[in-house]
Amino acid sequence: MMKNPIAVVTGGSGFIGSHTVDLLLKNNYKVRVIDNFSGGHESNLRDHIDNPNLTIFSEDIRNLSSQSSIFKGAHSIFHFAGIGDIIPSIENPVEYFEVNVLGTIKVLECARESNVQKFLYAASSSCYGLASTPTSETHSCNPEYPYAQSKYQGEQVAMHWASIYGIPVISIRIFNAYGPRVRTTGAYGAVFGVFLKQKLENKKLTVVGDGLQKRDFIYVTDVARAFHFASESKRNKVIYNLGGGSPQSINYLVELLKGTVDYLPSRPGEPKVTWANIDKIQTELNWMPEVSFEEGVGIMVENIKDWANAPLWNKKTIATATKSWFKYLR
């Protein structure tokens, strides 16, 4: 690879995007971040603000021109920009498809025009729906809600552009990513964002169902490493699962956080277990997760003050926030 290759990171001020920027700069990349800061924060990149190898562009991917100079000379594009959360996608599906599908097409067109060597698409394991486990990449996809469908269609168009236009695409289906800088405000959603604020305020942790459900948690720096490995590989037009490969129960998370519990009704459309079969990415990219669940949770607790301004959820506010979930999902 050339000295100081150029990488474009869409959504580079967000949770996973900013950790990927950290790693790329550490590996002597010149990094161009594209972000409209609707979900991410420029403060996530504050450690690099004076780094001459980092340039930040305040742009909405939906407005990108295929002739954009941002992509000129780029070796790789890491496409993290998009909107998440289940409930808002049920309530406003059009925006999700505009950003996650049409926005992806805009970035793909920029990739096509600039002849990049690698296009990395951040896909979601939610494409599998209520899947059998452990789940391999060949498992059928059955998205349960608009967010999942929009991310899956984004992946499909990326693979279509790979077939038609020869763009070297790798799609990585991320399971349950967690770690520092995970979003602390906005819609009700990710369990860490809910639990850590509750713990900080000495409130009960609101556990959905019986807490026996398991999630395949993967620490964010391990996610960034996987994307970096993929960008430097010779693989093309391939899909990888990305998880820890060892599902953990919500009750075990509660135990690690040393919290008391308030139980909520189970929700439709949620799997009892998410579990990534990661054999393919281990074999083909020689990637392995490095951060154990216990170590990762410990780091989150050490940084618990990051949740000082996060919303505090309780049974009543969660019931209000999830009305659409129970109305539309089965």
Asked whether residue 281 is assigned to any structural domain, the reply reads no
Q: Does residue 1 lie within any of the structural domains?
A: no
- φ, ψ of residue 171 to 5 degrees: the values are -110, 130
Q: How far is CA 64 from CA 10, 60, 99, 111, 265, in A?
A: 11, 7, 12, 11, 43
> What proportion of the chain, given as a percentage, has pLDDT over 70?
98
**Residue 278 maps to a domain:** no
Question: Is a pLDDT exceeding 80 seen at residue 1?
Answer: no
pLDDT of residue 269: 83
Residues contacting 164, CB < 8 A, separation 6+: none
Do residues 107 and 232 both lie within one domain? yes
| In a domain? residue 287 | no
Q: What is the pLDDT of residues 124-152, one digit of tens each?
A: 999 999 999 999 999 999 999 999 999 99
pLDDT, one tens digit per residue, over 19-60 is 999 999 999 999 999 999 988 888 899 999 899 999 999 999
| 70 neighbors 34 (Cβ within 8 angstroms) | yes
Q: Note whether 192 and 162 are same-domain residues.
A: no
CB-based contact 296:178 (threshold 8 Å): yes
What is the pLDDT, as a whole number, of residue 183?
Answer: 75
208 and 80, same domain (yes or no): no
Are 83 and 39 contacting, i.e. CB atoms less than 8 angstroms apart? yes
Same domain, 160 and 222: yes
Examine residue 267 and state whether it is found in any structural domain, yes or no: yes
Whether the Cβ atoms of residue 215 and residue 272 lie closer than 8 Å to each other:
no
Helix extents (H) in 118-269: 146-165, 191-200, 220-231, 250-257
Domain housing 162? 6-177+216-242
Residue 166 lies in a domain: yes
Q: What is the pLDDT of residue 185?
A: 67
**pLDDT at residue 41, as a whole number:** 85
**Nearest-angstrom CA–CA distance, 260 and 264:** 13
Question: Which secondary structure element, helix H or strand E, spans residue 296, and what is its range?
Answer: helix 293-302
Query: Does 101 share its domain with 201?
Result: no
Q: Determine whether 147 is an active site residue.
A: yes
Query: CA–CA separation, 142 vs 135, rounded Å?
Result: 13
Q: Do 256 and 125 have their domain in common? A: no
- Do residue 306 and residue 162 come from a single domain? no
Q: What is the spatial distance between Cα 115 and Cα 109, in angstroms, rounded to a whole number?
A: 10
d(CA 41, CA 186): 13
- Here the CATH number for the domain that contains residue 300 is 3.90.25.10
Which one from 29, 96, 147, 219 is the annotated catalytic residue? Answer: 147
Interval 230-272: pLDDT, tens: 999 999 999 999 999 999 999 999 999 999 999 999 988 889 9
For every residue of 96-149, DSSP letters joined together read: HHIIIIIHHHHHHHHHHHHT-SEEEEEEEGGGG-S--SSBPTTS-----SHHHH
Provide the pLDDT confidence category of residue 2 given band limits of 50, 70 and 90. low
What pLDDT was estimated at residue 147? 96
154 shares its domain with 263: no
In a domain, 285, yes or no: no
Give the pLDDT score at 178: 95
For residue 177, list its beta bridge partners.
218
Q: What is the pLDDT of residue 107?
A: 98
Statement to judge: residues 192 and 114 lie in one domain: no
Average pLDDT, rounded, for the chain:
94
CB atoms within 10 A of CB 169: 28
**Do residues 170 and 256 both lie within one domain?**
no
171 shares a domain with 134? yes
DSSP 273: B
Give residue-wise pLDDT tens across range 173-223: 999 999 998 876 667 778 998 999 999 999 999 999 999 999 999 999 999
The predicted pLDDT at position 157 comes to 98
CATH number reported for the structural domain that contains residue 22 in this entry: 3.40.50.720
Strand ordering across the sheet containing 76-79: 54-58, 30-35, 6-10, 76-79, 118-124, 169-174, 238-242
Tens of pLDDT, residue by residue over 80-111, are 999 988 999 999 999 999 999 999 999 999 99
Count of structural domains, the chain: 2
Residue labelled with tokens 């990171």: 9
pLDDT digits (tens, 9 = 90+) for 300-328: 999 999 888 889 999 999 999 889 988 89
Choose one of 242, 258, 280: the last residue of a domain. 242
Residue 282 belongs to a domain: no
For residues 258 and 135, state if they share a domain: no
